[in-house]
Homo-oligomer: A and B are copies of this chain.
Amino acid sequence: MILALAGGVGGAKLACGLAMQLQPERLLIVVNTGDDFVHLGLSISPDLDTVMYWLAGINDSTRGWGLTDESWNFMAALEQLGGLIWFKLGDRDLATHIERTRRLTCGQQLSEVTRFLCNKLGVRHRVAPMTDQAVRTIVYTDEGALEFQHYFVRRQCAPHVRGLEYSGASGAAPSTAFDKALSRNDLEAIIICPSNPLLSIDPILAIEDVRGRIKRQHAPVVAVSPIVGGRAIKGPAAKILTELGRDPTAFEIARHYAGLIDGIVIDEIDAELRQKIEQLGLRVDITATVMKTREDQSRLAATAIQLAAHIRAL
């Protein structure tokens, strides 16, 4: 079985690729919930929804988030009422949030709700939140501390980032599925998707003992760099790395995960970084990592799986 850690669009795309490569029982996708928040009374889990909608094939590929063929009549009416409209909620997408909120209010855990929603949307592979407890990413900026979605959506990542906090993470337990996967003797690989390391992956690693348990796992850990040619494919990864005084490079991604991962997949454009990364003690595979098509997703997933298999065989 393979465990994938994911968040955001890069994570969702590689999750689709892994789902094309692996039977449902051979894959667990654990998703960041540090971005979750309560907005307009609704429990919103943006990364879970992104992964779920992509796996269901009903995502909007252009925007990256939300549903395809979406309508925005709720939002237009809310605007007329002078309501909070900085976080866009499509009419169909609202059903996900209303139903999730209803079930959570009834006492179900987020894991259970996620399983239910995935099942209803025809997602065959398993998706689990990193934890069923509340973890909230706080972004410390030159405008003060911002809740994640206020930084990410309301302020469109404009403020200068000075630091990050995954509030609640160290005291939160992994979700049951995540916990079981981390304890398996037969785990084949842990794949860190090309998600933002600071915003999507580190919250997962910050969950109680998760980093230590991944290190102690016999399964090889392979990351896919979200930085290509000094830029993030999507999102503020490069901007934030720079603001924190770090180079936005695939090497910096490797260094960020060093001590945790065994190998990394980087883009052809960054081939010159191979030797420098190998000096960190990591195996490097080089391929085209920009996923524009489903074939790209599948091929990149296969590369990551093969790198892990290669490391396991050493």
- Give, as a whole number of angstroms, the nearest-CB distance from A43 to chain B: 9
Also in contact, A120 and B81, with CB within 8 A (given A91-B91, A98-B40): yes
Given contacts A41-B41, A73-B71, contact A80 B101 (CB under 8 A): no
Q: Which one, B92, B96, B117, contacts A73 given CB within 8 A?
A: B92
Query: In the complex, which residue of chain B has the Cβ closest to the Cβ of A101?
Result: B41
- Kindly state whether residue A99 has any CB partner on chain B within 8 Å: yes
Interface string of A168-184 (1 = CB under 8 A from B): 00000000000000000
Contact of A120 among B74, B80, B94, B102 (CB under 8 A): B80
Tell me the bound Cα distance from A73 to B68 in angstroms. 12
Q: Are A120 and B82 in contact (CB under 8 A)?
A: yes
CA distance A143 to B92 in the complex (A): 35
When all copies of this chain in the complex are counted, the total is 2
**Whole-angstrom distance from the CB of A120 to the nearest CB of chain B?**
5
Instruction: Tell me if A281 counts as interface (CB < 8 A to partner B).
Output: no
Q: Are B91's CB and A78's CB within 8 A?
A: no
- Chain B residues in 8 Å Cβ range of A71: 71, 73, 91
The CA of A42 and the CA of B95, in the complex, are separated in Å by 13
Asked whether B83 lies within 8 Å of A99 as measured between CB atoms, the reply is: yes
Q: Is A76 interfacial (CB 8 A cutoff)?
A: yes
Whether the pair B95, A83 counts as a contact (CB closer than 8 A) is yes
> How many residues on the A side are at the interface (Cβ–Cβ under 8 A)?
31
> A77 at the A/B interface (Cβ < 8 Å)?
yes
Q: Which residues of B contact A95 (CB under 8 A)?
A: 74-75, 77-78, 80-81, 83
A62 within 8 A of B: no
**Central interface residue in A78, A82, A95, by most chain B CB within 10 Å:** A95
Bound form: Cα–Cα A300–B77 in Å = 32
Write the nearest CB–CB distance from A115 to chain B, whole angstroms. 13
On whether the beta carbons of B105 and A41 are closer than 8 Å, the reply is yes
- Closest partner residue, chain B, to A100 (CB atom): B81
| Cβ < 8 Å to B, chain A residues 35-94 | 40-42, 67, 70-71, 73-78, 80-84, 91-94
Report B-chain residues with C-beta under 8 Å of the C-beta of A80.
95, 120-121
**How far is the CB of A232 from the nearest CB of chain B, in Å?**
31
Chain A: residues with CB nearer than 8 A to chain B? 40-42, 67, 70-71, 73-78, 80-84, 91-96, 98-99, 101-102, 105, 117, 120-121
- Lowest 4 A-B CB distances belong to which pairs? A77-B95, A73-B91, A77-B92, A78-B95
Query: Given contacts A41-B101, A71-B91, could you give 14 more A-B pairs where the C-beta distance is less than 8 Å?
Result: A41-B98, A41-B105, A71-B71, A74-B74, A74-B91, A74-B94, A74-B98, A77-B95, A78-B95, A80-B95, A80-B121, A81-B95, A81-B117, A84-B102
